[in-house]
Amino acid sequence: MSKNALSGERLMNRRDALRTTAAATVAALGSAQFSATGAATRRPNVLLFHCHDLGQFLHCYGVKTVRTPNIDAFAIQGVRFSSSFCTAPQCSPSRASMFTGRYPHNNGVMGLCHADFAWDLRPEERHLAQFLGDAGYACESIGVVHETSSGPKRCGYEKHINTVKVSEVATAAITRLEHFAKDEKRPFFLCAGSIEPHRLRDEKIKDYMGFLSPEFGPDSTEGIEVPPFLRDTEGTRAELAELQGAVHHVDEHFGRILSSLRALGLEENTLVIFTTDHGYAMPRAKCSLYDPGLAIALLLRLPSRKGWHGGRVNDAMITNLDYLPTILDLAGIPVPANVQGCSFAPLLDGRDYSPRDAIFCEISHHDYYDPRRCVRTASHKLIVNFSSAPSFMDPSQSWRPRADTVVPESHALAYHKCVELYDLLTDPLELRDIADAPENTQLRQGLLARLRRHLVETNDPICREAIMPPLHRKSLRLMDIPDPGQRQGTGLGS
The boundaries of every CATH 3.30.1120.10 domain in the chain are: 359-473
Give the pLDDT score at 412: 84
**What distance in Å separates the CA atoms of residue 341 and residue 322, rounded to the nearest whole number?**
4
pLDDT > 70? residue 213: yes
**What distance in Å separates the CA atoms of residue 317 and residue 473, rounded to the nearest whole number?**
38
The boundaries of every CATH 3.40.720.10 domain in the chain are: 41-349
pLDDT digits (tens, 9 = 90+) for 228-237: 999 999 999 9
The neighbouring-strand residues paired with 457 are none
pLDDT band at 484 (very low <50, low <70, confident <90, very high): confident
Please report, rounded to a whole number, the percentage of residues in the chain having pLDDT higher than 90.
85
pLDDT > 80? residue 276: yes
Q: Where in 366-428 does DSSP place strands (E)?
A: 369-376, 380-385, 419-423
CATH number of 359-473: 3.30.1120.10
pLDDT > 50? residue 244: yes
What DSSP string runs through 97-130? Answer: HHHHSS-HHHHS--S--SGGG-----TT---HHH
pLDDT band at 84 (very low <50, low <70, confident <90, very high): very high
The neighbouring-strand residues paired with 33 are 41
User: Would you state the torsion angle of the CA atoms of residues 6, 7, 13, 15, taken in this order, to the nearest 10 degrees?
Assistant: -160
**What distance in Å separates the CA atoms of residue 344 and residue 289, rounded to the nearest whole number?**
24
CB count in 10 Å sphere of residue 419: 16
pLDDT digits (tens, 9 = 90+) for 92-150: 999 999 999 999 999 999 999 999 999 999 999 999 999 999 999 999 999 999 999 99
Rounded to a whole number of angstroms, the distance between the first and last alpha carbons of the chain is 23
The neighbouring-strand residues paired with 81 are 314
**What distance in Å separates the CA atoms of residue 305 and residue 317, rounded to the nearest whole number?**
22
Average pLDDT over residues 81-101: 98
Ramachandran class of 308: left when φ > 0, alpha when ψ lies in -120 to 50, beta otherwise: alpha
Compute the Cα dihedral for 449, 450, 456, 457 and give only its sign: positive
Q: What's the chain's average pLDDT?
A: 91
Q: What is the pTM of this model?
A: 0.91
Give the pLDDT score at 485: 65
Q: What are phi and psi of 344, to 5 degrees?
A: -100, 15
pLDDT > 80? residue 217: yes
pLDDT band at 206 (very low <50, low <70, confident <90, very high): confident
CB 396 within 8 A of CB 468: no
pLDDT digits (tens, 9 = 90+) for 358-413: 999 999 999 999 999 999 999 999 999 999 999 999 999 999 899 999 999 888 88
- Give the DSSP H or E segment for 33: strand 32-34
CATH 3.40.50.300 at 41-349, yes or no = no
CB 183 within 8 A of CB 209: no
Alpha carbon 377 to chain centroid distance? 19
Q: Where in 109-220 does DSSP place strands (E)?
A: 138-143, 159-161, 188-194, 200-201, 209-210
pLDDT band at 205 (very low <50, low <70, confident <90, very high): confident
Give the pLDDT score at 483: 85
DSSP helix/strand/coil, 248: helix
pLDDT digits (tens, 9 = 90+) for 414-443: 999 999 999 999 999 999 999 999 999 999
pLDDT band at 33 (very low <50, low <70, confident <90, very high): low
**What distance in Å separates the CA atoms of residue 346 and residue 330, rounded to the nearest whole number?**
10
pLDDT > 70? residue 281: yes
pLDDT band at 489 (very low <50, low <70, confident <90, very high): very low
Close Cβ partners of 422 (under 8 Å, ≥ 6 residues apart)? 380, 381, 430, 432, 433, 434
Supply the DSSP symbol for 82.
Answer: T
Side-chain-facing half-sphere of 380: CA atoms under 13 Å = 17
Give 183 or 55, the one with higher predicted confidence: 55
Please report, rounded to a whole number, the percentage of residues in the chain having pLDDT higher than 70.
90
**What distance in Å separates the CA atoms of residue 392 and residue 400, rounded to the nearest whole number?**
16
Give the pLDDT score at 376: 98
Give the pLDDT score at 317: 98
**What distance in Å separates the CA atoms of residue 137 and residue 130, rounded to the nearest whole number?**
9
pLDDT > 90? residue 280: yes
